[in-house]
């Protein structure tokens, strides 16, 4: 049968792909790798979104490897970090912030249990580097230098490494087995360890500078600040650091049963709680009101649980000896007014609010200053600290400083972070300069950038603690880690702010099929994208943004 000639007006012959609808748009979406609020808040540059993503996939080893890129102490930090990340977490504006520290502890504990080790440095470098101080900051610097292949000599005045982590923080908060495991793992990288080697005098430092290409000073803050109202010559007055040092060694000073502890930071809490464990009745006297104290909220709660009586917003005005042992502490309520700089403040006494506390001894833990004998004349200082720049640089090009000796930010993880920054700076001074991501100028991903629809609401796992009676019996760790099955579930709650999780939303929700999968992720097809912004709106991690186009 014959059929009519072709009728091209009746049936189609091709697809609309020849029509480039990209000309319609005014803005094009693009992928951004933006810092998460937790990452920016983290003193150790936590890359939290990445490692939590690995936990979500139950790749704990992968999570640990990301964690230790920045912090060699995940099990330690996972216990004692002041967790600024959780305060910044976008999830807190949705249901409750992610239990980041608990996840970190979980990963860190797994690493210890599994015996995961750091790989040897990929190459060895000739430049020798010295680190002074074997506390968190010095160990962190040594670790980062060593992983980059530098020969590192570590000078520590004490017989054991750890600094504040060993001599300040009690074992019920940081079990020594955990600390030792994390320190041993660093040492296994091959560090020239010089224990019992104090660098106290200018000539000690001069010798180091002659021998080493760069020196990182992380000597800590060993000199206790003292209350003018106390006579430290008396047997009933003692520094908090000294008390802790002896208590942590199992031999607390012999003091009467009623102890007054003065201070509002972690050290004061540690003294108070430690004293409870040695049977003392404890009253804690802090200038700040309870909500303003520098100690972490959970520490204060735990102290009160353990029977520490808190006298907040108060100070001792005078101590009167009554008989051989008993003291009368004449106190007054005060208004605590924080100053602009960290650590600065003033108080105003409230007239007529005087009260009295009976005690047998007073332990003051009101802060410490570094002992800067070694640097005298070599470096400039500011308010009793070594003056440093952003990358822990000092006024001498070969000297770097960090930790409590250079900062009033008296947190272990802050010290670890400074050690890392110093190591990177030293490395950069030797090698070509490198910039790391997450610079302070970058804006964190806001909650509004997260498509929260994709996240069911949930609560963070509850923090479980040892019963009070058992706590007071000894050194048992107070806080429990989260359960193994809880970790990936909690990691599911992470918004992965600013980190693409390859969820395909941008690809799947494009009405114009203008997003293509490519091996490294996704690509927006400018030929077809009409600029509607659905991909940006549906991104569950805030990893996309619209960029205006000028044509």
Partner 1 sequence: MRALAVGYEPILSSGHAACPGCIEALTVRHVAAALGTNTVAVVPPSCMAIIAGPQPFSSFKIPVYQPSLEASAAAATGLRRALDAQEKRDTLVAVFAGDGGTYDIGFQCLSSAAERNEDFIYFCFDNEGYMNTGAQKSSATPHFAKTGSTPAGKASKKKNLTEIMAAHGVPYVATACAGYLADLIRKGEKATRIRGTRIITLLVPCLDGWGLADDCGLEAARFAVESGVFPLYEVEEGCRYTLNEAGKTRPVRDYLSLQRRYRHATPEEIDALQAEVDAGWARLLERVAASRESGLTPSAK
Partner 2 sequence: MRNAPPDRMLLTGNHAVAWAARLARPKVLPVYPITPQTPILEKLSEFEAKGELDAEVITPESEHSVMAASIAASLAGARVFTATASQGLLLMHELLHYASGARAPIVVANVNRTVASPWGFWPDETDSLAQRDAGWIQFYCESAQDCLDTVIAAFRIAESVLVPAMVNLDAFYVSHALEPVSVPGQELVDAFLPPYSPPHRIDPQNPESWGNVVSQEMYCRHRRDLGEAMARVFEVALETEREWSRLTGRSSPIIERYRCEGARTVIVAMGSLCGTARDAVDALREGAEAVGLLKVRLFRPLPVEALRAALAGVAEILVLDRNYSPGYGGVLHQELRGALYGIADPPKIHGRLAGVGGVNVSAERIAELVREAAAGEARRESVWVEG
Residues of the shown chain interacting with partner 2 in the complex, contacts defined by CB under 8 A = 1-4, 6-7, 9-13
| Whether the Cβ atoms of residue 43 and residue 413 lie closer than 8 Å to each other | yes
Name the minimum Å distance from CB 18 to partner 2: 14
Binder of partner 1 out of 118, 278, 530, 545 (CB under 8 A): 530
| Whether the Cβ atoms of residue 480 and residue 464 lie closer than 8 Å to each other | yes
Binder of partner 1 out of 198, 304, 455, 463 (CB under 8 A): 455
The secondary element (H helix, E strand) that includes residue 456 is: none
Structure token pair of residue 270: 């540690």
- Alpha-carbon radius of gyration of the chain: 28
Which of 221-229, 264-272, 358-366, 537-545 is the region at the interface with partner 1 (rule: CB under 8 A)?
537-545
Contact between 49 and partner 1 (CB under 8 A)? no
Structure token pair of residue 317: 């005005």
Binder of partner 1 out of 1, 4, 6, 17 (CB under 8 A): 17
Contact between 14 and partner 1 (CB under 8 A)? yes
197 three-class SS: coil
- Choose among 344, 342, 434: nearest CA to 391: 434
Name the minimum Å distance from CB 8 to partner 2: 8
Which partner in partner 2, partner 1, none is near 520 (CB below 5 to 8 A by kind)? none
**Backbone phi and psi for residue 136, each to the nearest 5 degrees, phi listed first:** -60, -40
**Cβ-Cβ contacts under 8 Å for 423 (sequence gap 6 or more):** 140, 141, 143, 144, 145, 148, 216
Which partner in partner 2, partner 1, none is near 7 (CB below 5 to 8 A by kind)? partner 2
| Whether the Cβ atoms of residue 109 and residue 75 lie closer than 8 Å to each other | yes
Which of 66-74, 304-312, 316-324, 510-518 is the region at the interface with partner 1 (rule: CB under 8 A)?
510-518
Q: What is the C-alpha to C-alpha distance for residues 32 and 38, in angstroms, rounded to an integer?
A: 17
Binder of partner 1 out of 196, 298, 436, 454 (CB under 8 A): 454
Which partner in partner 1, partner 2, none is near 376 (CB below 5 to 8 A by kind)? none
Nearest CB to partner 1, comparing residues 359 and 510: 510
Contact between 91 and partner 1 (CB under 8 A)? no
Nearest CB to partner 1, comparing residues 394 and 499: 499
Q: What is the C-alpha to C-alpha distance for residues 44 and 76, in angstroms, rounded to an integer?
A: 13
Contact between 511 and partner 1 (CB under 8 A)? yes
Q: What is the dihedral of CA 427, 78, 63, 535, to 10 degrees?
A: -100
Nearest CB to partner 2, comparing residues 16 and 520: 16
Contact between 540 and partner 1 (CB under 8 A)? yes
Binder of partner 1 out of 376, 470, 504, 549 (CB under 8 A): 504
Structure token pair of residue 74: 């995940």
Between helix 176-187 and helix 100-114 the angle, nearest 10°, is 70
Residue 533 CB neighbour total at 10 angstroms: 16
Contact between 441 and partner 1 (CB under 8 A)? no
Residues 472-501 within binding reach of partner 1 (CB under 8 A) = 492, 495-496, 501
**HSE-up of residue 178 (Cα within 13 Å, Cβ side):** 25
Contact between 462 and partner 1 (CB under 8 A)? no
Contact between 439 and partner 1 (CB under 8 A)? no
Nearest CB to partner 1, comparing residues 244 and 539: 539
Q: Is 364 exposed, middle or buried (0-12, 13-18, 19+ CB in 10 A)?
A: buried
Binder of partner 1 out of 1, 2, 15, 550 (CB under 8 A): 15
Q: Which residues bind partner 1 (CB under 8 A)?
A: 8-9, 11-21, 24-25, 453-455, 492, 495-496, 501-505, 508-514, 525, 527-528, 530-534, 536-538, 540
């Amino acid at each position: 049968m014959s059929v009519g000639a072709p009728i091209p007006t009746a049936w189609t012959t091709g697809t609309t792909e020849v029509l480039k609808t990209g000309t319609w748009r005014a803005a094009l979406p693009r992928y951004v790798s933006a810092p998460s609020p937790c990452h920016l808040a983290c003193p150790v540059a936590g890359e939290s979104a990445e490692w939590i993503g690995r936990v979500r996939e139950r790749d704990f080893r992968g999570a640990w490897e990301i964690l230790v890129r920045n912090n060699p102490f995940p099990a330690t930090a996972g216990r004692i970090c002041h967790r600024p990340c959780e305060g910044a977490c976008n999830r807190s504006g949705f249901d409750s912030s992610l239990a980041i520290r608990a996840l970190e502890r979980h990963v860190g504990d797994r690493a210890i249990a599994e015996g995961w080790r750091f790989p040897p440095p990929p190459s060895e470098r000739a430049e020798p580097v010295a680190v002074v101080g074997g506390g968190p900051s010095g160990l962190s610097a040594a670790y980062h230098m060593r992983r980059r292949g530098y020969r590192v000599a570590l000078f520590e005045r004490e017989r054991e490494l750890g600094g504040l982590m060993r001599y300040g923080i009690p074992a019920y908060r940081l079990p020594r087995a955990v600390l030792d495991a994390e320190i041993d793992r660093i040492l296994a990288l091959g560090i020239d360890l010089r224990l019992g080697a104090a660098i106290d005098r200018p000539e000690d430092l001069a010798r180091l500078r002659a021998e080493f290409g760069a020196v990182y000073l992380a000597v800590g803050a060993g000199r206790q600040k003292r209350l003018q109202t106390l006579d430290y010559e008396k047997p009933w007055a003692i520094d908090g650091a000294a008390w802790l040092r002896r208590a942590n060694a199992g031999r607390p000073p012999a003091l009467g049963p009623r102890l007054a502890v003065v201070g509002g930071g972690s050290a004061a809490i540690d003294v108070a709680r430690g004293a409870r464990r040695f049977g003392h009745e404890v009253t804690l006297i802090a200038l700040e009101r309870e909500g303003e104290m520098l100690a972490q909220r959970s520490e204060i709660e735990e102290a009160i649980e353990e029977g520490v009586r808190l006298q907040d917003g108060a100070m001792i005005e005078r101590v009167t000896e009554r008989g051989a042992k008993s003291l009368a502490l004449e106190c007054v309520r005060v208004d605590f007014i924080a100053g602009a700089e960290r650590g600065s403040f003033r108080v105003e006494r409230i007239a007529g609010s005087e009260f009295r506390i009976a005690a047998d001894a007073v332990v003051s833990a009101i802060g410490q200053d570094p002992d800067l004998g070694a640097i005298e004349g070599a470096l400039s200082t500011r308010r009793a600290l070594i003056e440093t720049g952003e990358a822990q640089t000092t006024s001498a090009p070969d000297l770097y400083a960090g930790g409590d000796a250079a900062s009033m930010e008296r947190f272990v993880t802050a010290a670890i972070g400074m050690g890392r920054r110093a190591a990177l700076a030293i490395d950069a001074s030797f090698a070509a300069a490198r910039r790391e991501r997450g610079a302070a100028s970058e804006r964190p991903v806001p909650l509004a950038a997260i498509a929260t629809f994709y996240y069911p609401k949930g609560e963070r796992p509850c923090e479980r603690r040892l019963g009070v009676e058992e706590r007071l019996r000894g050194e048992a760790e107070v806080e429990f880690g989260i359960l193994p099955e809880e970790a990936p579930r909690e990691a599911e709650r992470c918004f992965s702010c600013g980190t693409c999780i390859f969820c395909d939303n941008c690809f799947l929700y494009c009405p114009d099929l203008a997003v293509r999968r490519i091996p490294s992720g996704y690509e927006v097809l400018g030929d077809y994208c009409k600029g509607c912004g659905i991909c940006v709106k549906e991104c569950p991690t805030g990893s996309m943004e619209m960029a205006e186009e000028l044509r």
